[in-house]
Structure 1
């Protein structure tokens, strides 16, 4: 048997290694790669899930938000040591800080990198003065870190174009594109919908304003008055972000039966099957939201914004609707369409599943990534 090549996946959340990269890790291991995973703050469950797949766990220190040059430089040096000490053959970082610091560390260790841009987040929205300052700062960090990478993988063409326009990378840089992290079509099974006049909407996201949570809550209040039977479900963990939605507001709306607030949930596919239409009014700079891919696979029509990343999951009028970001009226109108035309829910849901099979099958995406890795090592 050929010698196992060693790949280091670097993440900012240990949980994302299971939820977003679990199938990829299994795919790499089944193709005779030795997989190491580096992240901060593993839980016992994360460790068990990853070890069960065959991964080797490494914990490192990373301040996920904010900027502290001393701590950040320590993270880079720590990653360099991990790469050198384990004789890593290829580094595969994803999300902002792991891509920047992981690429810097790998360059210092003279180890090839394939970096995955999973969305540019709040800093690249340009919505506030702080965001614009962060964008310029992050652009410079990306320029310093990723220019030598063997491939930069994007989840949408908009992010690639922005990197070209802002001179972060050049047209000579090798790039590739994948449709998000993909979705396991066996896990997220298709179930036909049988909607009645009690249409159920669902939003699953981080509970921050940029994800459109406040718009969803306002739409729920407007529509609940007109259609008392309709339900508005919301899933997400409490947030400490400056733009977090207040838990008091969520509790109050839940107690008034305007929304059904579930907090953090692990069994997302069950909730997708129980509900009819998936809603994500995000104006965050997404890569390609995993939740919309899962909703497509389960057979939910999608209402999301005609904005970066989000628009990739909808064929307008076929499996859902694209609405203008940060606008309440188009959201209410799109939701009301399904309340008035419940027979369209199953029809568009079937189209969602077909679209997922065509574009978002995790096996296709993982094989595309494996081909890139094989080209490099």
Structure 2
């Protein structure tokens, strides 16, 4: 079969789904990656033997004509490439792929990796998105969810029939690539806290900065680092000027974006993500796989990544004071317990979040669709 894999950035496909696409090709299928144009990521996909079809899908646009154009271009790509099945990711990738696939009578398998900004900051867009979900995802072959909270919301709202829902362990982690890294030797009162994410307010970047200011009063040698994309096409984007202001204050260090997060995880003592809501944040799973304790919020998706007091700590959502309290509590731990948390986190990822579990679930669904199409 020819399978289209769609997301709203090519970077997402390369960094999160390349192993899946390779596995599908190894199983005898042909894979076509579809996302907005990106020359660097296109070369990465081509090197893996995956054909790339550029289609513009905006990250934050709401203009009806421009958004409709994305749907029409996706439909045209599916038709011209002779696609048999569509696998999709990210909110817009899911909705627009579903509309294009339904108009052609193609089976499609969306992956709900978090509910997105429309569910975090509710407004008129929320009502429109829910209506589109009800019209599309209810007709999907299978809908993969990354956490049970999101699945329950969709089922209870009547957006997806329960018999079509399946839960995955997040995006999974490539355990051979993300191996345990030894901790760097440093003074006990100089921990390095790292936040890895697109720099959005909804990721808790503001709370991280406020908490850093509070923690530094007790641990003046502590370091706080940000790693991820600035100038994101998203209304929740943290302005570059704000990041520069934090740096000028000596509060945070902005490390920029990266295509390989491993050296930065290895250089950190604790990875922090105070997000308001996620699917299952892969950065925290990758951190745990490398033996790093994590601190995150008691929010859907985030809470899946940590066992409080065992592999890290949890704080309340959108609460900088509680985040600072948890960071201070973690900083007060003996070094041996910090390391023990990292070791327990690695074992948990091995048992529950191995990427091979995710790939196996997709291959099985694709095989079932292939069998039904060949009848």
TM superposition score normalised by structure 2: 0.94
Tell me, yes or no, if structure 1 residue 143 matches structure 2 residue 139.
no
Within the candidate set 207, 227, 234, 1:235 is matched to 227
- The unaligned stretches of length 5 or more in structure 1 are none
TM-aligned CA distance change 1:167 to 1:132, over 3 Å: farther
Map of 1:265-280 to 2, 5 A cutoff? 265-280=258-273
* Equivalent residue for 1:170, pick from 161, 175, 188: 161
Distance 2:307 2:217 in 1: 30
Name stretches of at least 5 consecutive residues in structure 2 with no aligned partner: 371-375
The answer as to whether partners of 1:143 and 1:169 remain within 8 angstroms in 2 is yes
Query: In structure 1, the residue corresponding to 2:357 is in which secondary structure?
Result: helix
In the alignment, is the contact (CA less than 8 A) between 1:195 and 1:276 conserved in 2?
Answer: no
Which residue number corresponds to residue 173 of structure 2? Answer: 183
Query: 1:255 is matched with which residue: 237, 248, 251?
Result: 248
Give the C-alpha shift of residue 13 in structure 1: 0.3
Kindly provide the CA deviation profile for residues 122-146 of structure 1, in whole angstroms up to 9, marking residues without a partner as x. 1112x4xxx2322211000111112
- Counterpart CA distance in 2 for 1:352 and 1:239 is 32
Query: Does 2:85 match 1:94?
Result: no
Conserved 8 A contact 2:33-2:51? yes
Using the TM superposition, give the Cα deviation of residue 205 of structure 1 relative to its aligned residue in structure 2, in angstroms.
Answer: 1.1
State the Cα RMSD in Å: 1.5
Q: What is the alpha-carbon distance in structure 2 between the residues aligned to residue 74 and residue 263 of structure 1?
A: 33
Report what 1:62 is aligned to: 57
2:149 to 153, 158, 168: 158
SS of equivalent residue, structure 1 residue 242: coil
* Aligned partner of residue 61 in structure 1, secondary structure: coil
Question: 1:270: Cα distance to partner?
Answer: 0.4
1:371 aligns with 2:353: no
Task: State the 1:71 CA deviation.
Answer: 2.1
Query: Within 2, Cα distance between the matches of 1:327 and 1:359?
Result: 29
CA contact (8 A) 2:60 2:235 kept: no
2:80 is the counterpart of 1:85? yes
Instruction: Please give the secondary structure, in 1, of the residue aligned with 2:198.
Output: coil
Q: Deviations over 1:229-283 (max 9, x none)?
A: 1111111222353333232332233233322221222331101001100100111
3-state SS of the aligned residue for 1:187?
coil
| Shift, 1:195, TM fit | 5.6
Misfit runs of 4+, over 4 Å = none
Q: Tell me which residue corresponds to 2:48.
A: 53
Instruction: Select 1:28's aligned residue among 20, 24, 28.
Output: 24
SS of the aligned residue for 1:220 comes to helix
